[in-house]
Amino acid sequence: MIIPYAQGQSWLHRIDPLSKLVLILCIALLATRFQTSTEQACLLLVSIVIARFAGGITWIGQWKALSFLIVFVLPLFIITLFTAPGRTPLIEVGVMSITMEGMDMAGSVSLRMFTLFLTSYVYIKTTDPQDLVASLTQVLRIPYRFAFGISMALTFLPLLQEEGRNISAAHHIRGRRQGRGWGERFTWWTTFTTAVVYNAVRRVQQTAAAMESKGFGAYPDRTYLRPIMSWEKGRILAIIGVLITISLGWFI
């Protein structure tokens, strides 16, 4: 699953990238600070509400994003459930036992994963890579070659996804179907992956050449057509976010 930036006019779209980054870090800090399932559930709920009403991401959109994570979170939940130390037995299955503490811990780590993923998803969906580059280079004074690396990665991943779709379509059009047995599936995926990697490398080389031919890296600095986003509103929000994080971290 590759997440592209989605143009929009939501409230979060209008907040500058660095202030949003501070807010995300605040949520990430709280997610690592909170230890119980209830706290994590509250944090996830807040994140979902923000994503819906401040980021304009639909309930279905959020569900699609989070459901992608289930395959990774479920094993983590099960392992934690059986391995976390606890004293209050809930269910006993042979030598294995599930405790209240284990259940709480498993819920906590799983919900934490969902929160961290969702906030990152919202950030990418609502942040134009060009605004991010402009902020990193002009506000934080990060060298533009490095900042463009991040921007290019964000721009490039959807292109690679498209390339992957093209290659998959090419295989189908040319009569290749994914077989049923493990061996046939392995052969199909090997051929497919090799073609995708080969094309990706070729595309990266071509893009690097095209960037260089347009003077990328010619000088230590460059100009920007796009002015950096106003960060007055975002700054106030970031300060409020930091204060809330400190308060919650202090009291919980």
Partner 1 sequence: MSPEAINLDELTYTYEGDSKPTIKDMTLSIPEGQWIAIIGPGASGKSTLCQLLNGYLPRSGGGRREGSISIEGIDPRNASIADIAERVGVVFQDADAQLVQGNVEADVAFGPENLRVPPADIAHRISASLAAVGLTSHRYSRVRELSGGQRQRAATAAVLALEPRLFVFDDCTASLDSAAQVRFVQVCGSLHEQGRTVLNTSGRFDDVARAAERVIVLQGGAVVLDGPPQELLRKHAAQLVQLGLLPTTEWTAGTTAQRVADAASPGTGGTTIESPVSGGTIASPGEAGFTQCVADAESPVRNVISTSKTALLQLHKLSYTYPGGHQVLRDVSFTLQAGDWGMIVGENGSGKSTLSKLLMGLIPVPRNSVFWDGKDIAGRSVANLAEEIGYVFQQPEHQFVTHSVWDEVTYGFKSKSHKRITLTSQEVELAEQMLLAAGLFERRYDSPYMLSQGEKRILSVICQFVIPKRLVILDEPTSGIDYAGAERILALCRDKVQQGTALLMITHDPNLVARDTSVVLQLHQLRGITTKQHG
Give the x/- contact pattern for partner 1 in 155-184, rule: CB under 8 A.
x--x---x---xx-xxxxxxxxx-x----x
- Distance in Å, CB of 60 to partner 1, minimum: 14
- Distance in Å, CB of 15 to partner 1, minimum: 20
By CB under 8 A, is residue 141 in contact with partner 1? no
By CB under 8 A, is residue 212 in contact with partner 1? yes
Q: What is the 3-class SS of the chain, one letter each residue?
A: CCCCCCCCCCCHHHCCHHHHHHHHHHHHHHHHHCCCHHHHHHHHHHHHHHHHHCCCCCHHHHHHHHHHHHHHHHHHHHHHHHHCCCCCEEEEECCEEEEHHHHHHHHHHHHHHHHHHHHHHHHHHHCCHHHHHHHHHHCCCCCHHHHHHHHHHHHHHHHHHHHHHHHHHHHHHCCCCCCCCHHHHHHHHHHHHHHHHHHHHHHHHHHHHHHHHCCCCCCCCCCCCCCCCCCHHHHHHHHHHHHHHHHHHHHC
State how far the Cα of 44 lies from the Cα of 12, in Å rounded to an integer. 17
List binders of partner 1 among 121-140 (CB under 8 A): 129-130
By CB under 8 A, is residue 146 in contact with partner 1? no
Question: Considering only 99-107, 113-121, 211-219, 233-241, which stretch makes contact with partner 1 by CB under 8 A?
Answer: 211-219
- Distance in Å, CB of 164 to partner 1, minimum: 11
Residues 6+ apart with CB under 8 A from 210: none
State how far the Cα of 184 lies from the Cα of 178, in Å rounded to an integer. 7
- Distance in Å, CB of 219 to partner 1, minimum: 6
Instruction: Give the one residue of 53, 72, 189, 224 binding partner 1; rule: CB under 8 A.
Output: 224
Question: Considering only 18-26, 47-55, 99-107, 201-209, which stretch makes contact with partner 1 by CB under 8 A?
Answer: 201-209
Nearer to partner 1, 94 or 213 (CB): 213
Number of residues that bind partner 1 (CB under 8 A): 48
By CB under 8 A, is residue 213 in contact with partner 1? yes
State how far the Cα of 158 lies from the Cα of 179, in Å rounded to an integer. 27
Instruction: Give the one residue of 60, 95, 219, 232 binding partner 1; rule: CB under 8 A.
Output: 219
By CB under 8 A, is residue 189 in contact with partner 1? no
Nearer to partner 1, 221 or 232 (CB): 221
Residue carrying the six token digits 């944090």: 43
Nearer to partner 1, 84 or 195 (CB): 195
* Positions that interact with partner 1 (CB under 8 A): 129-130, 152, 155, 158, 162, 166-167, 169-177, 179, 184, 187, 191, 195, 198-199, 202-203, 205-219, 221-227
